Structure 1
Amino acid sequence: MVGVTGIGSGINIDSIVASMVAAEKTPKLTQLTNLEKKTTTQITAVGALKSAISDFQTALSAINKPELFQARSAKSSNTDLLAVKAGVSAGVGTYQVDVRQLAASSKVALAAIAPNGAEPATFGNGTLTVMVGGVSLPEITVDGTNNTLAGIRDSINKAGVEQGVTATIVTDDAGSRLVLNSSKSGAGEDISVVAPADDGTGSANLSQLAFSDAEVTQPADPAAARMLTKAQSAEVYVDGLKVTSKTNSLDTAIEGVTLDLKGITETGKPITVSVDLDKAGVKTNVEKFVDAYNKLIGVINAQTKVTPVGEGKAPVTGALVGDATARNLLNTIRNELVNVQGSGAVRALTDIGITTQKDGTLAIDSAKLDKSMTDSFEGISSLFSGDKGLATRLDEKLKPYTETGGILEQRNKVMSETISKIDKQKVDLDRRITSLQDRLYKQFNAMDALVGQLSNTSASLLASLENLPWAAGNSKR
């Protein structure tokens, strides 16, 4: 209800009602707003904490894989000529690799076909078969729909999809010709073309496209078909032992090692291949473990920190100051970090150069870690991985916090319910204040009207008294 300045009483009803409404609403609204702000901040803090724990669990999972400590690294002394990759079954050692010949696939140029005047040459009706190493592609039928070089090219490309045979047209000084290329390398995988004579209805005959994989020497006739590249196998010597492969990728020459051949080695200059434990990969995952842990500690410290801001002023407090969840989590993971396991040279993080700083974060002594890698690699594996390893123990302690229905999810659920209740209380407060405002306006307007009536009555009585014969004013007349 909208009020106006009292007509009868002259008082400012709007101002009085507004003050009374504010006095009733402000304390409760301030309380709800502060609670909402605090709860929202805590929800954000719990979300950051959950994210940091999740990142730490990812790092724990990565370092808890036995294959990480079984992995091998392989190095080539000349990566331009030979690339290498080692699997977990590779034996640690050094090998001398001499690449004598690279594997190659077949490539042939069929006979040049003279044009039919100003028009492309045409062939008669017949059949044509392309073969790779004795394996035939689907037979190609040549008729009026594909009786040109372009038509036959398209038919070969369609028929050769599965076996990796492609055809293009190259025009040289002798004329236009089909060039066939195979993706299948290795000795004996040459391309040949079987093309019986057609019915003679075209300007050229299909038999002109025939090619035998036995035709190795270059013909004297420039228009004749020729072999551009002969299919051959790779020849490699590993520590003097000959290895032949149909491809340039060898995964059986050295157990667990893949050799990718890229070029021929110089005579008397073999390539050295070294296979060792993948210590660099392990070190990287140890560093990721420390980084993820420090991130988690940083989040906990930030959310539980009390920062003084000056004398007489309230300190700035983190959203989770005094929170039992954060405190219990911190104590739990710290206890596991200092928990000594086993009886070997590596029983705790300090044994490999990882120590705790004053702020609770971890620091790595890189030199000490490298030495541990060399002296006690298996000990590092036992420290982190396995059923009793540090990664497993920490993950088990963290699961109650992050799993579905876990501690953090329940905390978040309670706080979300608090926000919902605050919203409802705000709606209820607005409704109650609106009702109060309406009631006050009614009361003050009723009072104002009564005061107006009383003022009018008073004025009327005074006027009547002044007109009486014995009134002092009348006796002077």
Structure 2
Amino acid sequence: MAITGIGSGMDIQGMVNALVNAEAAPKSAQLNRLEKATTAKFSGLGQFRSAISDFQSVVKDLNSASLFEKRTATSGKTDVFSVKADSKAVAGNYSVQVFTLAQSSKVALQGFDDPAASLGAGELSISFGGDEPLTIDLADEASSLTDIRDAINKAGKDQGLSATIVNDPNGESGARLVLSSTKAGDGNDISVSVATGGAELQKLAFTPPPQPAPGAEPPAADPKAAKVITYAQDARFAIDGINMSSATNTITEAIDGVTLTLQSAQSKEDLEKANTISLTVGEDRAGVKSSLKKFVDGYNKLMSTVGSLTKVTAVGGDGGTPLTGALVGDASVRSFMSSIRGDLGNPAGTSEVKILADLGISTQRDGTLKIDDARLDKALDENFSQLSGFFTGETGLMARLENTVKPYTQTGGILESRTKGLQNTLSSVDDQRESLTRRIGKLEARLLSQFNKMDSLLGQMNQTSSFLVGALSNLPGVVKKDN
């Protein structure tokens, strides 16, 4: 409902609003257009910078000489041995035989009827490899197998010696201490001597007998007698017919740059037939190919983002206003793309691999890259040694790309400076809107005041007019005409 003037009957508020809106509309429309364009460009630059950063990560990964120095190592039977190689390894093929694994010593000492029975005080000396035997001092005359076990575990914890009690439920073997060592290799068998102690404690003394020949029948023995569960021994194996041994099952020095981890000995039948297992060391071509595919995917993703930000789409035929991307015609985008294309097109190095096309990586009509797998595989087979020089180093392709990308992504760089400028523009739009609001408010107040004064004046004039009409109509001789 319009609010009319009391004196004039005119829609004062409506007239004031029309004048105020007419004054504010051009500037408000200008600010809206500026804000919309600036916000779109701000968002577009953010997407552009994010896409460049993702591409930069891919470039850094490929700009690493170690990538081309990696080696693959393959075992013909991973259940017998596994293998890995580092950059020192030389490509080649080897024949391996595994006769025995390295193992540590484990012995079961004399069995006793009652594990809680007292064995008396005394001193035990346990040898299991190393410089000094482990001394166990039993001061309590009531020391039992349990006490001795606990004392051994406490003293031998840091030296790789442990003890447990195995108790035969049928009583035939009795309860006995089982000692285990973590020290593998020849000469590290566990032996126990009793320096001081009574007859019961003396029963724990044990010196391992010589290791029987393979296939020999063990001699019959008292079920409670001490015995060897496993002898400490070296791993024994052969590489290309050369016999070798190791105190551990992880072997790092047999082949330069190659680590063998023995898992099990070959079967008796394989050893009798002198069957060997292949070990192959090669260049990590699959890893390099995977990295190249990631590079191509990263570049194409960048091209897709740039394409969407600079695309112009026609709408509604010839008369329609086209839809434009946020960065259409942007100088930073044009400069970046020109530099990137230049880097990809300029030859690098003096070898047979000078440009990406020599690796089967070509540029398509839409600007994206495509890999010809057959050509790439052939290039990896024939020119693998040249790839590191082409991609890495100060003059390599990836270094050139990094130098091109860095000014756009670094702190204080091109895109950050542009983004800050756009932020300032948006802040200025807000300030101008506030200024416009204040100015329009003052204009509205002034117009309302003026129109209200006019309305009051009209009201007074109407009152005067009515008074004069009434006064004149009452004068003598005035004849009123009937309507």
Please, what TM-score do these two structures have when normalized by structure 1? 0.83
Is 1:137–1:159's contact at 8 Å kept on the other side of the alignment? no
Identify if the C-alpha distance between structure 1 residues 141 and 188 changes in structure 2 by more than 3 Å, giving closer, same or farther: same
**How many aligned positions are there?**
465
Is 1:137–1:163's contact at 8 Å kept on the other side of the alignment? no
Alpha-carbon distance between aligned partners in 1 of 2:88 and 2:40, rounded to the nearest angstrom? 52
Matches within 5 A, 1:206-355: 212=207, 220-223=221-224, 225-265=226-266, 266-267=270-271, 268-311=274-317, 312-355=319-362
Helix, strand or coil: the match of 2:254?
A: strand
Alpha-carbon distance between aligned partners in 2 of 1:376 and 1:39, rounded to the nearest angstrom? 50
Identify if the C-alpha distance between structure 1 residues 455 and 76 changes in structure 2 by more than 3 Å, giving closer, same or farther: same
Residue 332 (structure 1) shift: 0.9
- Residue 431 in structure 1 maps to residue 432 in structure 2: no
Residue 472 (structure 1) shift: 4.5
Identify if the C-alpha distance between structure 1 residues 75 and 35 changes in structure 2 by more than 3 Å, giving closer, same or farther: same
Match of 2:414 in 1: 407
Tell me whether 340-349 or 384-393 shows the greater mean CA deviation: 340-349
Opposite residue 55 of structure 1, the aligned amino acid is D
Identify if the C-alpha distance between structure 1 residues 209 and 336 changes in structure 2 by more than 3 Å, giving closer, same or farther: same
Match of 2:80 in 1: 81
Opposite residue 301 of structure 2, the aligned amino acid is K
Task: Pick from 129, 135, 143 the counterpart of residue 133 of structure 1.
Answer: 129
1:179-225: CA deviations, max 9, x gaps?
44433332333445566667x9xxx9776766556697899454555
Alpha-carbon distance between aligned partners in 1 of 2:4 and 2:139, rounded to the nearest angstrom? 104
Helix, strand or coil: the match of 1:75?
A: strand
Alpha-carbon distance between aligned partners in 2 of 1:344 and 1:286, rounded to the nearest angstrom? 19
Identify if the C-alpha distance between structure 1 residues 122 and 308 changes in structure 2 by more than 3 Å, giving closer, same or farther: farther
Identify if the C-alpha distance between structure 1 residues 278 and 443 changes in structure 2 by more than 3 Å, giving closer, same or farther: same
Match of 2:214 in 1: none
Identify if the C-alpha distance between structure 1 residues 442 and 70 changes in structure 2 by more than 3 Å, giving closer, same or farther: same
1:48-102: CA deviations, max 9, x gaps?
2222222323222222222322322211111222211111121221100001111
Please, what TM-score do these two structures have when normalized by structure 2? 0.82
Matches within 5 A, 1:374-453: 374-453=381-460
Identify if the C-alpha distance between structure 1 residues 237 and 46 changes in structure 2 by more than 3 Å, giving closer, same or farther: same
Residue 164 (structure 1) shift: 4.1
Identify if the C-alpha distance between structure 1 residues 223 and 5 changes in structure 2 by more than 3 Å, giving closer, same or farther: farther
Task: Pick from 153, 159, 162 the counterpart of residue 163 of structure 1.
Answer: 159
Opposite residue 255 of structure 1, the aligned amino acid is D
1:352-395: CA deviations, max 9, x gaps?
21111000111111111111112222333332222222112222
Helix, strand or coil: the match of 1:252?
A: coil
Match of 1:29 in 2: 28
Is 2:101–2:236's contact at 8 Å kept on the other side of the alignment? yes
Residue segments in structure 2 that go unaligned for 5+ positions in a row = 212-217
Residue 341 (structure 1) shift: 3.6
Opposite residue 274 of structure 1, the aligned amino acid is T
Helix, strand or coil: the match of 1:243?
A: strand
1:321-342: CA deviations, max 9, x gaps?
1011111111111112121244
Is 1:94–1:273's contact at 8 Å kept on the other side of the alignment? yes
Identify if the C-alpha distance between structure 1 residues 321 and 209 changes in structure 2 by more than 3 Å, giving closer, same or farther: farther
Residue 417 (structure 1) shift: 1.8
1:115-147: CA deviations, max 9, x gaps?
68xxx6678777666654145698666689x97
Tell me whether 182-191 or 325-334 shows the greater mean CA deviation: 182-191
Tell me whether 126-135 or 21-30 shows the greater mean CA deviation: 126-135
Is 2:75–2:83's contact at 8 Å kept on the other side of the alignment? yes
Alpha-carbon distance between aligned partners in 2 of 1:344 and 1:472, rounded to the nearest angstrom? 123
Tell me whether 447-456 or 38-47 shows the greater mean CA deviation: 447-456
Identify if the C-alpha distance between structure 1 residues 4 and 76 changes in structure 2 by more than 3 Å, giving closer, same or farther: same
Tell me whether 132-141 or 74-83 shows the greater mean CA deviation: 132-141
Alpha-carbon distance between aligned partners in 2 of 1:18 and 1:148, rounded to the nearest angstrom? 106
Matches within 5 A, 1:90-239: 90-109=89-108, 132-134=128-130, 157=153, 159-168=155-164, 170-173=166-169, 174=171, 179-192=178-191, 212=207, 220-223=221-224, 225-239=226-240
Identify if the C-alpha distance between structure 1 residues 358 and 451 changes in structure 2 by more than 3 Å, giving closer, same or farther: same
Is 1:372–1:380's contact at 8 Å kept on the other side of the alignment? no
Alpha-carbon distance between aligned partners in 2 of 1:308 and 1:143, rounded to the nearest angstrom? 99
Is 1:110–1:211's contact at 8 Å kept on the other side of the alignment? yes
Residue 307 (structure 1) shift: 1.5
Identity %: 46
Opposite residue 34 of structure 1, the aligned amino acid is R
Alpha-carbon distance between aligned partners in 2 of 1:449 and 1:190, rounded to the nearest angstrom? 121
Opposite residue 258 of structure 1, the aligned amino acid is T
Aligned-CA RMSD value:
3.6
Identify if the C-alpha distance between structure 1 residues 348 and 134 changes in structure 2 by more than 3 Å, giving closer, same or farther: closer
Identify if the C-alpha distance between structure 1 residues 407 and 210 changes in structure 2 by more than 3 Å, giving closer, same or farther: farther
